């Protein structure tokens, strides 16, 4: 019997695994810079697993960007992919491309104990959408709908590019400071790795301070070390995330819960859990009570995108 392969391809790394018995097997991570194409990287993976060309029945790859048409150009690395050429080269019968954040959303259906932390207590309503939001290189926003027993639909969108919401005079001043520098201020302008640096620079400018840090890692390290300025920036980052997540919950009716994913928040998990995120999340005036009982989780699972690709492939092959 031929194997099923799943992949989650980012700007720096490509993760591959075999999908067997509804689970990931033999996960390996490859640096995209070391290979000229996804086909070359996958052949290296198959070689390591002792699988010959032609040994795959189907492949599902999670990729950043729209997935229509035969040609796909990766937005954050040098790879390109032609569906037709891919299938011919690897002798694959079926190739499925899925938006990377759709895969991330579907991965939430396979979380295990120890792979998430509770941020806000509540009981998820399985009949309502769930929100998946993730500050990372950018800000990913998607929704997850339960269609029935073991059937799910992930709806990707561009919710990271909505206007940055403000809730008080200080936040309005931060937004205006950024607007003077770059023009339109989206949620992603702040809620991303690079956004943390922009937020730090804006807050320093407002308070007449000279910036001392130039990277997200330096800011988070300083915050973890107790530096007041860096702590204030991280706190404001968490509050902005709460406002954006809360807006999306109201728009979607996402009483199925909120999953916070991405690489930024796990850098300062304990600070996040003690932050004003929850207060800002529900700070919606006459609609604040709507958030009573909406659960929020911080996801720490390592391979959610890969798992989601597996779920997508399995659903496709079963129907």
Q: What angle do CA 54, 90, 60 make, to 5 degrees?
A: 100
86 with 232, same domain: the answer is: no
pLDDT at 1: 76
Q: Is residue 60 part of a domain?
A: yes
Q: Is residue 110 part of a domain?
A: no
189 with 279, same domain: the answer is: yes
Structural domain span for residue 13: 3-105+303-318
- 54 a known binding residue? no
Q: Is residue 111 part of a domain?
A: no
Q: Is the pLDDT of residue 148 over 90?
A: no
- 69 a known binding residue? no
pLDDT at 73: 85
- 195 a known binding residue? no
36 with 18, same domain: the answer is: yes
Q: What is the mean pLDDT of residues 227-254?
A: 97
Q: Is the pLDDT of residue 190 over 80?
A: yes
Task: Indicate which CATH number applies to the domain containing 312.
Answer: 3.30.420.40
20 with 133, same domain: the answer is: no
Report percent pLDDT > 90 for the chain.
84
70 with 132, same domain: the answer is: no
278 with 309, same domain: the answer is: no
- One DSSP character per residue, the chain reads --EEEEEEE-SSEEEEEEEETTEEEEEEEEEGGG-SSHHHHHHHHHHHHT--TT-EEEEEEEESS---SSEEE-SSSS-EEEHHHHHHHHT-SEEEEEEHHHHHHHHGGG--TTSEEEEE-----TTS-EEEEEESSSEEEEEEEEEETTEEEEEE--GGGSBPP--SHHHHHHHHHHHHHHSS-BHHHHSSHHHHHHHHHHHHHHHTPPP---SHHHHHHHHHTT-HHHHHHHHHHHHHHHHHHHHHHHHHT-TT-EEE-SSSGGGGHHHHHTSSHHHHHT--GGGGGGGTT--EEEE--S-HHHHHHHHHHHHHHH-
Q: Which two tokens stand for residue 69?
A: 């048409």
225 with 311, same domain: the answer is: no
Q: Is residue 48 part of a domain?
A: yes
Q: Is residue 265 packed enough to be buried (19+ CB in 10 Å), middle (13-18) or exposed (0-12)?
A: buried
Question: Residues 157, 294, 265, 306: what is their CA dihedral angle, to the nearest 10 degrees?
Answer: -60
Q: Could you tell me the pTM of the whole model? A: 0.90
90 with 147, same domain: the answer is: no
Q: Is residue 43 packed enough to be buried (19+ CB in 10 Å), middle (13-18) or exposed (0-12)?
A: middle
86 with 21, same domain: the answer is: yes
51 with 173, same domain: the answer is: no
pLDDT at 70: 84
152 with 196, same domain: the answer is: yes
pLDDT at 56: 95
Q: What are phi and psi of 60, to 5 degrees?
A: -125, 125
Tens digits of residue pLDDT in 267-315: 999 999 999 999 999 999 999 999 999 999 999 998 999 999 999 999 9
Short-list 249, 258, 244, 238, CA closest to 298: 258
What's the total number of domains in the chain? 2
Q: Give the whole-angstrom CA distance, residue 280 versus residue 238.
A: 9
Integer-rounded Cα Rg, in Å, for the chain is 21
Q: What is the mean pLDDT of residues 182-197?
A: 96
For residues 205 and 318, the model is more confident at 205
pLDDT at 51: 94
Q: Is the pLDDT of residue 11 over 90?
A: no
pLDDT at 180: 96
Q: Is residue 203 part of a domain?
A: yes
Q: Give the whole-angstrom CA distance, residue 246 versus residue 240.
A: 10
Report percent pLDDT > 70 for the chain.
100
For the chain, the average pLDDT equals 94
Tens digits of residue pLDDT in 40-53: 999 999 999 999 98
- 8 a known binding residue? yes
pLDDT at 118: 96
153 with 291, same domain: the answer is: yes
pLDDT at 75: 72
Tens digits of residue pLDDT in 63-87: 987 788 888 888 777 899 999 999 9
Q: Is residue 204 part of a domain?
A: yes
pLDDT at 289: 96
Q: Is residue 145 part of a domain?
A: yes
Q: What is the mean pLDDT of residues 28-37?
A: 94
Tens digits of residue pLDDT in 114-147: 999 999 999 999 999 999 999 988 898 999 999 9
Q: Is residue 14 part of a domain?
A: yes
pLDDT at 74: 80
pLDDT at 319: 76
């Amino acid at each position: 019997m031929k194997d099923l392969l799943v992949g989650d391809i980012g700007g720096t790394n490509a993760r591959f695994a075999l999908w067997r018995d509804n689970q990931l097997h033999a996960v390996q991570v490859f640096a995209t810079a070391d290979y000229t194409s996804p086909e070359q990287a996958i052949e290296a993976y198959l070689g390591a697993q002792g699988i010959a060309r032609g040994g795959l029945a189907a492949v599902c790859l999670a990729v950043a960007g729209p997935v229509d048409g035969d040609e796909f150009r990766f937005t954050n690395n040098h790879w390109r992919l032609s569906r037709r050429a891919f299938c011919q080269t690897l002798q694959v019968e079926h190739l499925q491309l899925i938006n990377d954040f759709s895969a991330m959303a579907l991965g939430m259906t396979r979380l295990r104990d120890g792979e998430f932390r509770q941020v806000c207590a509540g009981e998820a309503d399985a009949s309502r959408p769930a929100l998946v939001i993730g500050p990372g290189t950018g800000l990913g926003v998607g929704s997850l709908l339960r269609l029935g027993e073991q059937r799910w639909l992930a709806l990707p969108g561009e919710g990271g590019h909505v206007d940055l919401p403000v809730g008080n005079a200080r936040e309005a001043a931060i937004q205006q400071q950024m607007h003077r520098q770059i023009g339109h201020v989206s949620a992603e302008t702040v809620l991303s790795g690079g956004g943390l640096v922009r937020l730090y620079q804006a807050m320093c400018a407002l308070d007449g301070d000279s910036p001392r840090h130039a990277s997200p890692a330096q800011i988070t390290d300083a915050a973890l070390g107790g530096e007041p300025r860096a702590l204030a920036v991280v706190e404001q980052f968490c509050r902005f995330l709460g406002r954006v997540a809360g807006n999306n919950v109201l728009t979607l009716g996402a009483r199925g819960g909120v999953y916070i994913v991405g690489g930024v928040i796990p850098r300062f998990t304990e600070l996040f859990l003690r932050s004003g995120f929850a207060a800002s999340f529900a700070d919606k005036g006459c609609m604040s009570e709507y958030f009573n009982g909406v659960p929020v989780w911080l996801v720490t699972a390592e391979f959610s995108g890969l798992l989601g690709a597996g779920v997508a492939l399995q659903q496709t092959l079963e129907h």
